[in-house]
Chains A and B, each alone.
Chain A
Amino acid sequence: MVTGYGPVERALRLWLPVGFFLIVALFPFYWMAVTSLKPNAELYNRHMMPLLVLHPTLKHYVDLLTQTSFLLWTWNTMVVAVVSTGISLVLGVMLAYPLARMRFAGAGLIAMTVAAIYLVPQPLLFIPLADLINRLSLGNTLSAVILTYPTMLVPFCAWLLLGYFKTVPMELEEAARIDGASRLQTMRRIFLPLCTPGFISAGIFAFTLSQNEFLYALIFLTKSSVRTVPVGVIAELIRGDVFYWGQLMAGALLGSIPVAIIYSFFVEHYVAGLTSGSVKG
């Protein structure tokens, strides 16, 4: 923005604060990685300098993958995240397209309702939902979370897509209508293919949100074979008062990697989605 600072002032204004934020943001991840590579002798030795590993070992990773159901939890997490993201994108489009393009009575009310539902936090609903899932005999099935995650993801996708849809020019759709295409054809053939960036933003967000979800998974999934990574790590790597710190850190790190990889590919879309709601309004 403003240039012409000397190197000292630049260090003070830029590198000092940015460096501070970076170290604070990243230290827990560094700590996860270092801990996961330490043999127990180093892990539980209070007299050693804790920031470095002297004899790195993959033992905790091997134990995690062979003695727990971690791989199965990872698979479950992926299935749940992909399916619920897919459902949410489809349902989100079905809400957002009419709200963005059509004039009809009640549109404003629906838009506000969707925004309000998006802001309803899960702790308000989890008790009645738990009872509902029980009555539907869906406890301990992945369907329980695949069905409930979209309750937060659909309004979210709809809201994000609504903002995106409004930025797409209408000329192509008008031309298609004049050529005699029905509204459904216009939407599917002409409009939706133009909106790939919006879908990526909404999809990536929905995907990270479903990877992050904990409360519903904790309540609905109590059998090891159906658990997701966050619940599995908390429920099975902490047994009573015994903490398997090496495995816990290995699990936390491995569990974070899929999200981090996908995020790294689509950072720009993610940031666009993050800021669109508040910046564009």
Chain B
Amino acid sequence: MIRRGPRPVSLSGWLDRQSVFSWLMMAPPLLFLAALVGYPFCYGILLSLQDRPVAHPGTFVGLKNFAANFNDPIFWQVTANTFVYTTAATLLKMVGGLALALAMNQQFPLKNLVRALLLLPFIVPTVLSTVAWMWILDPAFSVLNWFLLALGVPKPGPSWLGNPVLAMGSIIVINTWRGLPFYGITLLAGLQTVPPELYEAATIDGASGWQRFRFVTLPLLQPIILIVTLFSVIFTFADFQLVYVLTHGGPQNATQLFATYAFDIAMGAGQLGRGASVALAMFPALVLLIAALTIYMRRK
């Protein structure tokens, strides 16, 4: 019986194996992500179990931070705010974005220029456009209130960011202003893939405009609407910049979201452990959303 050793393999031959090549190629980015996403994530969980003032060593306190959140009325207000903000802004962006896409799905001159201009709110750094909104809503010099006055509203205009309800309304509208083009342009791209024959067939069958929209457009757009919505829900849910710049969570925490509250506790009050526990409170909802979106995108 002749024993055969493993086939002699040259180094270059070994490197050319699909699996070896792949893992060697992916090792640097994967190590990078492990070090700066994976490690901080685990470290964040550890921090959330500690009493950890900034610049001091931490002491393990178990679930005390989470218990403190549970007994903190502001935390529950933050939770409610985040859900109201996310739901309202998402619905507005979805409906508005669909309207924008339908309006843009017609032939007209300078269409590409119009599309480019409509996307500007999405392109420009959020902080900078939010500063413009801050000035639009300024308590003393609001241009909106000037319009109201010019339209004959007798009372002096409201303090948009000073009133809890109006402040929440304002951040919802501004988030919508910024995110709506993303919905609109993505859905427009989806609309353009709908075969015109389907509309023709529906028209021949006697479908009205609404019926064509309801039974042809909407079902075909549904996968795109789902992906765009999940995507935008994730980032609206964890929004930070808009609120930080515009209201700092005020008045009286009326616009405080998870991200800004975690920031205040960790960076403002220097309680890293407690702050990490507030940030992690976003995790269950995020995990569901991220898993749903990842699985859905894989399946497609």
Q: B1 contacts the other chain (Cβ, under 8 Å)? A: no
Chain B residues contacting A253 (CB-CB under 8 Å) are 128
Task: Report which A residues bind B (CB closer than 8 A).
Answer: 1-3, 13-14, 17-18, 21-22, 24-26, 28-29, 31-32, 35, 43-44, 46, 50-51, 91-92, 94-95, 97-99, 102-105, 107-108, 110-112, 114-117, 119-132, 147-148, 150-151, 154-155, 158, 182-184, 208, 211-212, 214-215, 218-219, 229-231, 233-234, 243, 245, 248-249, 251-253, 255-256, 259-260, 263-264, 267, 270-271, 274-275, 277-279, 281
B299 to chain A, nearest CB (A): 9
User: What is the bound-complex CA distance between A212 and B199, given in angstroms?
Assistant: 40
Complex partner residue of A252 from B32, B128, B143, CB under 8 angstroms: B128
User: What is the bound-complex CA distance between A154 and B33, given in angstroms?
Assistant: 8
User: What is the bound-complex CA distance between A252 and B128, given in angstroms?
Assistant: 5
CB pair A94–B28 under 8 Å, yes or no, is yes
A239 to chain B, nearest CB (A): 14
Top 3 closest A-B pairs, CB basis?
A281-B300, A121-B238, A123-B259
CB pair B36–A256 under 8 Å, yes or no, is no
Chain A residues contacting B272 (CB-CB under 8 Å) are 127, 130-131
CB pair B12–A267 under 8 Å, yes or no, is no
CB pair A91–B32 under 8 Å, yes or no, is yes
User: What is the bound-complex CA distance between A219 and B19, given in angstroms?
Assistant: 40
Chain B residues contacting A154 (CB-CB under 8 Å) are 29, 32-33
5 additional contacts (CB under 8 A) given A104-B18, A124-B238: A17-B99, A98-B23, A121-B235, A128-B276, A252-B132
CB pair B128–A267 under 8 Å, yes or no, is no
20 interchain pairs, CB-CB under 8 A: A1-B196, A3-B107, A14-B108, A24-B177, A28-B177, A104-B19, A107-B22, A117-B33, A120-B37, A123-B259, A124-B238, A125-B40, A130-B267, A154-B33, A182-B16, A219-B267, A255-B125, A260-B120, A277-B227, A279-B224
User: What is the bound-complex CA distance between A250 and B290, given in angstroms?
Assistant: 38
B67 to chain A, nearest CB (A): 19
Check A125/B106 contact, CB under 8 A, given A46-B140, A154-B29, A233-B127.
Answer: no
Closest to B108 in A: A14
The majority secondary structure among interface residues of chain B is: helix
Complex partner residue of B103 from A14, A114, A119, A122, CB under 8 angstroms: A14
Chain A residues contacting B49 (CB-CB under 8 Å) are none
CB pair B282–A123 under 8 Å, yes or no, is yes
Closest to A147 in B: B36
CB pair B128–A132 under 8 Å, yes or no, is no
User: What is the bound-complex CA distance between A167 and B295, given in angstroms?
Assistant: 21
Complex partner residue of B132 from A28, A111, A130, A271, CB under 8 angstroms: A28
CB pair B141–A44 under 8 Å, yes or no, is yes
CB pair A234–B44 under 8 Å, yes or no, is no
CB pair A278–B224 under 8 Å, yes or no, is yes
CB pair B125–A22 under 8 Å, yes or no, is no
CB pair A278–B276 under 8 Å, yes or no, is no
Check A234/B127 contact, CB under 8 A, given A264-B116, A278-B224, A281-B227.
Answer: yes
8 Å CB interface, B89-115 against A: 99-100, 103-108, 112, 114-115
